[in-house]
Copies of this chain bind each other. A is one copy, B any other.
Amino acid sequence: MRLRVKLLDLESGGKFIAVLNREDAEDLGVTGLSRIKLSYKGKEATAIVNVAVESVKRGRIGLYNEVKKYMGLRGEEEIEVEAAHSPLSVYYIRNKLGGRKLTYEEILEIVRDVVSGNLSEIEMAAFVTALHTFGLDLDEATSLSLAMVETGNKLEIKKPLIVDKHSIGGVPGDKTTLLAVPIIAASGLTIPKSSSRSITSAAGTADRAEVLMPVSLNIEEMREVVEKTNGCIVWGGTLDLAPADDMFIRVEHPLSIDPLLLPSIMSKKKAVGANLLVIDIPTGRGTKIKTIGEADLLAKDFIELGRRLDIKVQCAVTYGEQPVGYAIGPAIEAWEALNTIMGKSQSYDLMDKAVNIAGILLEMSGKSSGKEIALEILNSGKAESKLREIIGAQGGDPDVKPDDIALGSERFTIRADKDGVVLWIDNASLVETARLAGAPKDKGAGALLHKKIGDKVSNGDALVTLFAERSTKLQRAIDIFESVPIIGVGNRMEMLIHEIKERPVAKKTFVLER
């Protein structure tokens, strides 16, 4: 069938989408979400069908920008259109829906089609849901990791030993990487660290680091920085180490499920060539992993998956019931990290976490007393020098001072309304508040804790200061702050958590960070 092109000036986010009039679709024997093959002057593309009743008339075909660009169309061309078969990967997805285990070849085909935008959202949602409901065993996790490496970029560095660290996330204010990477690099080990931006949090490591230096490097620039400084702190998004993952996240996020956690993390570590890896598993209410038992099981899977991928993995189960340090939000976290590495802060938990993580890697690489070495590197100022070296290599100002960092000028401080002790901090509410204030988009937005769990508090003491770049956003944050408590102050633990008077709706907080 020949149809005349109507450009829709719309983007699908990667997928090839074509809109047919309902009558033409019936003539072709296709329905919404079927596939059609488009041909024009020797150029071919397969697109997913949407059906229109009014907006695309008979004899015409509406095309999204992705198809237009790929086929080099300008509108009003007559192109040839025919029904196309579903890609093989759809059959493999159906196998998983039937509870069957997938082979490496099948998983590779699915991941390839994901990367090339060849699967519809419905098909991807079914795949991710099936992985969630049936689970994926370690063979499948290995295959997924390798397929994601296969379909992405790889970092090639000529060093005998490459180390890496990763936190599965879920604890707010975790700027450990900004300290741990310079410590490790200063010790002589090579750590090509790529990080993600925030998805559901107030700041991802890439968001924090970007306050100090450019992080959107390509893989060649990353290699140069690492070869020069032994380390880097860059954003994974521009590296395309495992591009399938970004597509999976688009589907996982609205469903609040994350069956791809292990392969997603491990594929990126494999792609940078890591030999030794420490995985940080923050544990506690409000994080991804609620109990130590759960953390142990997850650690076992990471270690075994690492063994299959030829990466030696150790895990660090860490305390996640409150933020790491005092600051939440990109700029203020960078400010806290810089102050801490310069020896000018009281963020002892942050320092402890950084030297522990660095220490584990040092011991894995054959040194003894890793934590002590790490602490010495931090206290001696060698870590600060290394951080400034990395900042400079990535194109930032190596002489940056904490005062250079712009924090949001719209501020509001919450104060205690009684004497007592800080009993708890609600991570999820704190993150929600910081996000309403504008984080992570507005880098200066966020929150600064003045007290942490166990600290004594007097009536009128400052508990938290909110930062925003715009007064409307500050007000949004204050509004939620007043209805949802973030910090609990009291003398005795109150035992009633909450009352359930009717069938509850469990609106669980969902942490999706990579």
Contacts and interface: CB of A to CB of B under 8 A. Distances in A.
Given A33-B253, A121-B122, A123-B254, A52 B88 contact: no
A129 interface: yes
Given A94-B255, A505-B91, A121 B121 contact: yes
A11 B254 contact: no
Contacts of A308: none
Contacts of A257: 94, 97, 126
Contacts of A91: 505-507
A19 interface: yes
A450 to B, nearest CB: 25
Contacts of A11: 52-55
A363 to B, nearest CB: 39
Interface stretch (A23-31, A140-148, A331-339): A23-31
Contacts of A32: 13, 250
A97 B255 contact: yes
Q: How large is the interface on A (under 10, 10 to 19, 20 to 34, 35 or more residues)?
A: 35 or more
Nearest to A441: B26
Contacts of A167: none
B97 A436 contact: no
Given A11-B54, A94-B256, A133 B129 contact: yes
B34 A254 contact: yes
Say how many copies of this protein the assembly contains: 2
Interface string A80-105: 00000010101111110101000101
A210 to B, nearest CB: 14
A13 B51 contact: yes
Given A29-B436, A97-B133, A250-B33, A123 B54 contact: no
A70 interface: no
Interface in A105-128: 105, 120-126, 128
A477 to B, nearest CB: 11
A195 to B, nearest CB: 18
Contacts of A474: none
A253 B31 contact: yes
Contact of A506 (B53, B95, B250, B506): B95
A506 to B, nearest CB: 6
A432 B268 CA distance: 44
A65 interface: yes
Given A129-B133, A130-B133, A255 B62 contact: no
22 contacts: A10-B10, A10-B19, A11-B53, A11-B55, A31-B253, A33-B250, A33-B253, A33-B254, A34-B254, A54-B65, A91-B505, A93-B255, A94-B256, A97-B132, A105-B503, A122-B124, A122-B125, A122-B251, A125-B125, A125-B126, A126-B128, A129-B129
Given A11-B55, A94-B508, A129-B130, 13 more contacts: A10-B10, A10-B19, A10-B55, A31-B253, A91-B507, A97-B257, A103-B503, A105-B503, A121-B121, A121-B122, A123-B255, A125-B126, A133-B134
Interface of A: 8-11, 13, 19, 26-27, 29, 31-34, 50-55, 62, 65, 86, 88, 90-95, 97, 99, 103, 105, 120-126, 128-130, 132-134, 250-251, 253-257, 435-436, 441, 503, 505-508
